[in-house]
Amino acid sequence: MGGFQFALASGDAAGPRLGRLVTPRGVVRTPAFMPVGTQATVKGLTSEEVREIGAEMILANTFHLYLRPGAEVIARAGGLHRFMRWQGPILTDSGGFQVFSLARLRRLTDDGVAFRSPLDGAEHLFTPERVLQIQRLLASDVVMPLDVCLGYPADDARAQEALRLTLLWAQRSKAHGAGEGQMLFGIVQGGFSPAMRREAAERTVEIGFAGYAIGGLSVGEPREMTGAALEAVCPSLPADRPRYLMGVGAPPDLLDAIARGVDLFDCVLPTRVARTGTIFTRQGRVNIRNAAYREDEAPLDAACRCAVCAGYTRGYLRHLFNTDEMLGPRLATYHNLAFLAHLMDEARAAIAARDFERWRRGVLEAYTTAW
Residue 313 binds to a copy of itself (criterion: CB under 8 A):
yes
**Total residues interacting with a copy of itself, rule: CB under 8 A:** 35
Closest separation between CB of residue 108 and a copy of itself, Å? Answer: 27
Residue with Cβ nearer a copy of itself (85 or 358): 85
Phi, psi dihedrals of residue 47, rounded to the nearest 5°? -60, -35
Residue with Cβ nearer a copy of itself (83 or 185): 83
Binding mask 27-46 for a copy of itself (x = CB under 8 A): ------------xxx-xxxx
Residue 64 binds to a copy of itself (criterion: CB under 8 A):
yes
Question: Alpha carbon of 295 to those of 140, 315, 336: distances in Å?
Answer: 45, 5, 21
Catalytic-role residue among 93, 147, 253, 263: 93
Q: How far apart are CA 300 and CA 170, in angstroms?
A: 44
Residue with Cβ nearer a copy of itself (180 or 324): 324
Query: How many C-beta atoms surround the C-beta of residue 26 within 10 A?
Result: 14
Q: How far apart are CA 276 and CA 333, in angstroms?
A: 10
The kind and range of the H/E element at 83 are: helix 80-84
Residue with Cβ nearer a copy of itself (137 or 237): 137
Q: Which of 329, 343, 347, 356 binds a copy of itself (CB under 8 A)?
A: 329
Contacts of 293 (CB under 8 A, 6+ apart): 286, 314, 315, 317, 318
Closest separation between CB of residue 254 and a copy of itself, Å? Answer: 25
Residue 276 binds to a copy of itself (criterion: CB under 8 A):
no
Residue 268 binds to a copy of itself (criterion: CB under 8 A):
no
Contacts of 146 (CB under 8 A, 6+ apart): 94, 95, 96, 112, 113, 126, 127, 128, 131, 169, 173
Find the radius of gyration of the CA atoms of the chain: 20
Q: Are 274 and 336 in contact (CB under 8 A)?
A: yes
Catalytic-role residue among 141, 147, 266, 301: 266
Residue 88 binds to a copy of itself (criterion: CB under 8 A):
no
Q: Is 93 a catalytic residue?
A: yes
Pairing relation of β-strands 26-30 and 18-23? antiparallel
Residue 330 binds to a copy of itself (criterion: CB under 8 A):
yes
Closest separation between CB of residue 61 and a copy of itself, Å? Answer: 11
**Region from 81-89, 138-146, 226-234, 236-244 binding a copy of itself, contact rule CB under 8 A:** 81-89
Cis peptide before 24 (omega within 30 of 0): no
Residue 287 binds to a copy of itself (criterion: CB under 8 A):
no
Query: How many C-beta atoms surround the C-beta of residue 316 within 10 A?
Result: 17
What does the binding site for a copy of itself look like in residue numbers (CB under 8 A)?
39-41, 43-46, 64, 68-69, 73, 76-77, 83-85, 294-295, 297, 311-313, 315-316, 318-320, 322-323, 325-327, 329-331
Q: Active-site positions?
A: 93, 266
